[in-house]
Amino acid sequence: MLPVSAEVVIIGGGVHGCSIAYHLASKGMHGVVVLEQKYLTYGGTGRSAAGIRQQFGTEINCRLAKENIKGFIRMKEELDTDFDLELEQGGYMWLAYTEGQLNQLRENVRLQSSLGIPSKILNPDEIKELIPLLDVEGVLGASWCAEDGHVNPHRVTFAYYEAAKRLGVKFYTYTKVVDIEIEKDKVKAVVTDKGKISTRKVVNAAGPWGKEIGKMVGLDIPVVSERHQIMVTEPVNRIIKPLILCQDDGSYWKQEPTGGFLIGMDNPNEKKGYDVGVTWQFMEEVSRRVLKKMPILRDVRVVRQWSGPYDITPDSQSIVGPVEEVEGFYLDVGWSGHGLQFAPSIGRIMSELIIGEEPFISVDVLSFNRFKTGKLIPEPACI
């Protein structure tokens, strides 16, 4: 049974919703409710490539990313969880195939260095030395950060969930939000298919579906949902740790700590919408691309394939914080394919904003308002 009222209702049981819930409760807030239309991790969270990195190209993301890494390092203790979160700092490499790409990477690394991120530019010989199995034909250089890596997205989410639950947060799965009631531009209640909850504060952490939630309060949130596919191989001996991203054809891969290779690619022609189906063409195309670079994978068998939605914004940048139009309505959406790793820092910042504290890093530049003022901040380091 749903409660009749709540202090805060968080819409979305992904990694962001669960992190916000945990951070609010750990600050002593009571009456926090999380609503999820299916099961926890149903959305992008359960379908990601699980990469974490500090190699971003905008100051705000670099500053948050440093905090994310720190957050993952202390997470096991902070959340007091016995789940193996599989945190592995095996590195992350962006390969450049044109002068333009290399210049952009140089610019990113300059920014990252100025903010204390230990990334650097590598020449092809240095790349070969780090990853002897990689075919570097056509590669002009790379950017590299040894502190970046991998984390288990499911277990991180469930660890936030369990910690939040212990602190009194109530979670309701298979409960879909169908409307939000507003009175005099203030949030009044959340309506679900299982009943109504009165509340003054609502957090839209619905990922790609955030656009639909926005419509319920009359906001047009510029998020487009785009399908991204990925496949994984059988586990094999560990031969490579970093995530490798090729900027010529958008392919990327990494070997998970459990041994399977996760393989994906950027495809500008992918279907828009919330469809999470898969195609045979994807497996063929991505196999062709990745074999050119990692011929050793020829005899490894693919065992699973899936897809998930990216919530893409016009500047590939998240939308975070309260909105001017509706009092009590908060956004944490639009993560444009890199949102898993921001759960530690943004969960904390969202809780600070909701409680009315000064956020430990200002996220004003990420506000919804930027689409009205035109102050977009395009993130160049996206896959």
Partner 1 sequence: MEKFTDDDVIVCRCEDVTLGQIREVIRRGYTDPEEIKRITRAGMGPCQGKTCRDIIIREVARITGKRIDEIPVPTYRPPSKPIKVGLLAEESD
Ligand X SMILES: Cc1cc2nc3c(=O)[nH]c(=O)nc-3n(C[C@H](O)[C@H](O)[C@H](O)COP(=O)(O)OP(=O)(O)OC[C@H]3O[C@@H](n4cnc5c(N)ncnc54)[C@H](O)[C@@H]3O)c2cc1C
Site string for partner 1, 191-230 (x = CB under 8 A): ----------------------------------------
Which of 22, 158, 161, 209 touches ligand X by CB under 6 A? Answer: 209
Residue 258 interacts with partner 1 (CB under 8 A): yes or no = yes
**DSSP code of residue 166:** H
CB-nearer residue toward partner 1: 84 or 185: 84
CB-nearer residue toward partner 1: 281 or 362: 281
For residue 279, give Cα distances in angstroms to 110, 283, 312, 318. 39, 7, 21, 28
The Cα 18–Cα 41 span in angstroms is 10
The Cα 317–Cα 225 span in angstroms is 14
The Cα 308–Cα 351 span in angstroms is 27
Number of amino acids touching partner 1 (CB under 8 A): 35
For residue 4, give Cα distances in angstroms to 139, 169, 194, 199, 338. 60, 15, 11, 9, 35
- The rounded radius of gyration (Å) of the Cα atoms in the chain is 21
In the bound complex, what is the minimum distance in angstroms from residue 339's beta carbon to partner 1?
A: 17
Which of 268, 299, 356, 374 touches partner 1 by CB under 8 A? Answer: 299
The Cα 154–Cα 42 span in angstroms is 10
Site string for partner 1, 82-111 (x = CB under 8 A): -x----------------------------
Which of 155, 211, 227, 254 touches partner 1 by CB under 8 A? Answer: 155
In the bound complex, what is the minimum distance in angstroms from residue 357's beta carbon to ligand X?
A: 22
Question: Between β-strands 243-246 and 92-96, what pairing exists: parallel, antiparallel or unpaired?
Answer: parallel
Residue 272 interacts with ligand X (CB under 6 A): yes or no = no
Residue 298 interacts with partner 1 (CB under 8 A): yes or no = yes
Residue 37 interacts with ligand X (CB under 6 A): yes or no = yes
CB-nearer residue toward ligand X: 138 or 280: 280
In the bound complex, what is the minimum distance in angstroms from residue 302's beta carbon to partner 1?
A: 6
Question: Between β-strands 177-183 and 8-11, what pairing exists: parallel, antiparallel or unpaired?
Answer: unpaired
CB-nearer residue toward partner 1: 18 or 145: 18
For residue 244, give Cα distances in angstroms to 121, 128, 234, 263, 294. 14, 12, 19, 10, 10
For residue 175, give Cα distances in angstroms to 26, 157, 192, 204, 383. 24, 18, 6, 15, 32
Residue 317 interacts with ligand X (CB under 6 A): yes or no = no
Which of 13, 91, 149, 347 touches ligand X by CB under 6 A? Answer: 13
Residue 154 interacts with partner 1 (CB under 8 A): yes or no = yes
The Cα 201–Cα 190 span in angstroms is 9
Which of 23, 47, 63, 155 touches ligand X by CB under 6 A? Answer: 47
In the bound complex, what is the minimum distance in angstroms from residue 72's beta carbon to ligand X?
A: 11
Report the greatest alpha carbon distance in the chain.
Answer: 64
Residues in contact with 110: Cβ distance below 8 Å, sequence separation at least 6, in sequence order: none
DSSP output for 238-274? ----SEEEETTT-EEEEE-TTSPEEEEE--TTPPBSS
For residue 6, give Cα distances in angstroms to 9, 13, 348, 361. 7, 17, 20, 27
Residue 230 interacts with ligand X (CB under 6 A): yes or no = yes
Q: Which does 228 bind (CB under 5 to 8 A by kind): ligand X, partner 1, none?
A: ligand X
Residue 173 interacts with partner 1 (CB under 8 A): yes or no = yes
CB-nearer residue toward partner 1: 38 or 186: 38
Which of 6, 8, 11, 25 touches ligand X by CB under 6 A? Answer: 11
Element (H, E) at 116: none
CB-nearer residue toward partner 1: 193 or 284: 284
Residues interacting with ligand X, by CB under 6 A? 11-17, 35-38, 42-45, 47-51, 176-177, 205-209, 228, 230, 264, 308, 310, 335, 337-341
Residues interacting with partner 1, by CB under 8 A? 38-42, 46, 83, 154-155, 158, 162, 173, 233-234, 258, 263, 278, 281, 283-285, 287-288, 290-291, 297-306
